[in-house]
Structure 1
Amino acid sequence: MNKDILESDRPIFIVGAPRSGTTLMRYCLNRHSRIYIPPETYFFARIYGNRNLILEQNIPRYAVDIVERFLNYRFSEQSDHHLKEYFEFKYEWIEQLSEGNYSYRDVATILFGKIAGKRGKLRWGEKTPSHIFYIDFILELFPNAIIINMQRDPKNAIASYLYCSHLPDNFFLACGIYELSRIFARKYSHCLYTVQYEELTRFPERVLRNLCKHLRENFEPQMLKPGMCDSSYSKKVIEIDEKIGIIPDEPEKWKKYLTQQQSEFIDILLNFKSRENQWGYWYDWVKVKRWQFLFLSRIYKNRYGYENIKHWLNL
């Protein structure tokens, strides 16, 4: 069977906790001659995740509206220069989606596949870290999808989250999201291919060769030159230079950014340390659980149609 046909039904999705290396993985895979993965879209959270909305009566019309909204919103908020590709195909997408009665799977394929096709790539994917909470949605539309879960040392990931310019400077929220990401990753571990960020940066060729075997693709040396400056702990726009290789992560870089109290709380929260001192952190634990409740409420509201109530009440 032709390899292109064999792999055409196996898109690649990159998920994980925030600041866990999903962007680096996207840049590595995009250097492959057959693969292209565009910037974050939140497709499964904001488009497929909203399929229970009472407003959504016509998939093509809804798809057109959401694509326009996505393009305008994402381009204005992000610094990734690749986002201009979405605008390049904006009117092609809108025209195509307006012509027929498409399923959500069709909409996703059109949205992601067109960019890859225009770049001469035969295989497409998608990268949104928070889709770790929507693995079931991904598998509903693409049962044969390959889902790469990026993991990173929790202290480095949380410290990077706090230092990132476009994320909230909220330690308890960062801890809550990281812990939830671990919980969901364990829940779906049977269908995830996990890559440790530290391993990727220290032994990039070995990690990427193993990943290519899993993807049923040949390893290509240019994957080792993603062209991305280290964006971890960075408040700068990602710089693109194809001469740049993969920069090893500093194992204890977090010590420059987290207090000893924050470090100990992370150990206790994630069960890395005896909970003998846990009562000294009970109030911090409550703060984390509060943020997790609010975060999970946003995730599940669309699944159960809570948005319909807002519509009926004109909120």
Structure 2
Amino acid sequence: MESAVTATASTAPVFIVGPPRSGTSLLSAIIGSHSRIACGPETDLFRALPIKRARSLAQSNNRIAKTIEQLDEIRYPDGRSLASHFGLSNKHLRKQLDTRTDFVKAVYAAIPEAFAELQSKQRWAEKTPRHLFYVDTIRALFPDAKIIRIIRDPRDSIPSVIKNIGLSTSYIAEFYRWMGVYMKSSKFFAQDANSITVRYEDLVTDPEKKVSEICQFIGEEFEPQMLERKGAELVRVASETWKSDIDKKISADNIYGWKSKMDPDVAIAASLICSEALSELGYPNSRLPERELMVYPLGENFGAANEQHILECAKRGLRYRPYDDTYPESISETFKVIPDVVLGDIPLGKKTSVRILHALSASVQIVFRFLTARPVRVDPDVDLGIGSLNRCIGKLALLLGKQQRLAP
């Protein structure tokens, strides 16, 4: 006789999200080793194929062929297509797209659904860390989906990000990036009943207990083979060398390694930058600032441009804090903030021509604020981003703006 769980087993998809190097690969290997759930490599679909484009495809003539063509253009760093990493052909995708009434939903489900069918499994999971930015879209498309956010103490995960992924060489930049990711997703996970947050530390300290709880959440029975992670080879690709250990013995030996390995000054700054998150998640040694300045915009460039200054301020319990969890989409938006917020890093872009145009626009905004008696506020001890153009804008802001220092 079937168990109560199996008899009413859900076919709802499972999405695994989280900051980089927080255990998403380990968790996907565990869940993908369940007898009913298939999990393949990351798709990154919600970024690579924006929802507006998917809706446009749904309304187009010959939509199936055009969608397959769009999916084929999504390539891994090794040059191979997304579908090929799942062992799928266009025939597999066409079948999925042709049999779904909600075509937009099918665009995002076709690859993992076809993969689950290929694996003779009844349910699919999808793991892409950066889909943390798209949880609202995921929920709108998949109302019954189970969404799992896995979190790791950033003082342990950020050194691994810098070493293995290379998003930045600045610890301060990466801690600000991590905090921005956390802030953006926290409201969703606090309110969404079909979502949970799992701490990496709990998973590796008592894996059977934590995986059993996760199984209960997604509506499946715990299976001991999940901890053996036979599905590990299916969730990574050859170029992702930093995932080579996800089928090794689960160990808690490296948790809170930052206490002995991290530079003490960096650890102090991290504990200040991520203070609220560390406290909410129950991590040790969070630190409330003695004094802080709100900054907008405050992203990883601000951290990278001012790393040494931020480290020195942190020693004194001083912190630059983001005004909110948003980042401007335009130069004009950068200056549409409340008057007492200090100007942060000016996002100029990467192309030289674009950077020059944005620099001119930012300069006009600074002059306009001065002429209308609403001068920008700027800390004379910080740089407004990286590069000579940002430094020029900073000098203009100092000339025409109102100075406000974090460090007295």
TM-score tier by shorter-chain length is 0.7 to 0.9
SS in 2 for 1:184: helix
The residue number in structure 2 matching 1:226 is 229
Counterpart code for 1:90: S
Runs of 4+ in 1 over 6 A off after TM superposition: 52-56, 282-289
SS in 2 for 1:126: strand
1:116 to 1:27, Cα distance in 2 relative to 1, 3 A: same
SS in 2 for 1:275: coil
Mark the structure with the bigger radius of gyration: 2
Q: Deviations over 1:236-267 (max 9, x none)?
A: 4544796x431224233235653222211111
The residue number in structure 1 matching 2:400 is none
SS in 2 for 1:149: strand
Q: Deviations over 1:94-123 (max 9, x none)?
A: 544786886121122221111111111111
CA contact 1:42–1:131 (8 Å) conserved in 2: yes
In structure 2, how many angstroms separate the alpha carbons of the residues matched to 1:286 and 1:204? 37
Structure 1 stretches of 5 or more lacking a match? 298-315
In structure 1, how many angstroms separate the alpha carbons of the residues matched to 2:166 and 2:184? 24
Segment drifting more, 103-112 vs 47-56: 47-56
Which residue of 259, 266, 272 corresponds with 1:262?
A: 266
CA contact 2:14–2:126 (8 Å) conserved in 1: yes
The residue number in structure 1 matching 2:179 is 179
Counterpart code for 2:188: Y
Counterpart code for 1:222: Q
Which residue of 274, 288, 291 corresponds with 1:274?
A: 288
Does residue 201 of structure 1 match 2:200? no
CA contact 2:96–2:113 (8 Å) conserved in 1: no
CA contact 1:155–1:254 (8 Å) conserved in 2: yes
Does residue 129 of structure 1 match 2:90? no
In structure 2, how many angstroms separate the alpha carbons of the residues matched to 1:102 and 1:29? 26
1:171 to 1:61, Cα distance in 2 relative to 1, 3 A: farther
1:53 to 1:84, Cα distance in 2 relative to 1, 3 A: closer
1:237 to 1:266, Cα distance in 2 relative to 1, 3 A: closer
- The TM-score with structure 2 as length reference comes to 0.60
Does residue 69 of structure 1 match 2:73? yes
In structure 1, how many angstroms separate the alpha carbons of the residues matched to 2:246 and 2:166? 22
Root-mean-square deviation over aligned CA pairs = 3.7
CA contact 2:16–2:148 (8 Å) conserved in 1: yes
The residue number in structure 2 matching 1:60 is 64
Listed as ranges, the matches of 1:104-115 within 5 Å are 104-115=104-115
Q: Tell me how far 1:65 sits from its aligned partner.
A: 2.3
CA contact 1:41–1:128 (8 Å) conserved in 2: yes
1:63 to 1:288, Cα distance in 2 relative to 1, 3 A: farther
CA contact 1:159–1:257 (8 Å) conserved in 2: no
Does residue 91 of structure 1 match 2:105? no
In structure 2, how many angstroms separate the alpha carbons of the residues matched to 1:221 and 1:28? 10
CA contact 2:29–2:246 (8 Å) conserved in 1: no
Structure 2 stretches of 5 or more lacking a match? 276-285, 294-308, 331-408
CA contact 2:25–2:243 (8 Å) conserved in 1: no
CA contact 2:5–2:220 (8 Å) conserved in 1: no
- The TM-score with structure 1 as length reference comes to 0.76
Counterpart code for 1:113: E
1:24 to 1:89, Cα distance in 2 relative to 1, 3 A: same
SS in 2 for 1:210: helix
In structure 2, how many angstroms separate the alpha carbons of the residues matched to 1:133 and 1:53? 19
1:222 to 1:42, Cα distance in 2 relative to 1, 3 A: same
Q: Tell me how far 1:54 sits from its aligned partner.
A: 7.5
Segment drifting more, 219-228 vs 192-201: 219-228
Which residue of 39, 43, 46 corresponds with 1:44?
A: 46
In structure 1, how many angstroms separate the alpha carbons of the residues matched to 2:124 and 2:170? 34
1:265 to 1:259, Cα distance in 2 relative to 1, 3 A: same
Q: Deviations over 1:50-73 (max 9, x none)?
A: 438979863534421221012xx2
CA contact 2:39–2:127 (8 Å) conserved in 1: yes
Identity over aligned residues, as a percent? 25
Segment drifting more, 138-147 vs 34-43: 34-43
Does residue 103 of structure 1 match 2:117? no
Segment drifting more, 258-267 vs 98-107: 98-107
CA contact 1:48–1:104 (8 Å) conserved in 2: no
In structure 2, how many angstroms separate the alpha carbons of the residues matched to 1:55 and 1:103? 9
In structure 1, how many angstroms separate the alpha carbons of the residues matched to 2:106 and 2:54? 18
The residue number in structure 2 matching 1:164 is 164
Q: Tell me how far 1:21 sits from its aligned partner.
A: 0.4
CA contact 1:20–1:197 (8 Å) conserved in 2: yes
1:257 to 1:164, Cα distance in 2 relative to 1, 3 A: farther
Q: Deviations over 1:123-146 (max 9, x none)?
A: 101101111111110011101110
Listed as ranges, the matches of 1:238-257 within 5 Å are 238-239=243-244, 244-255=248-259
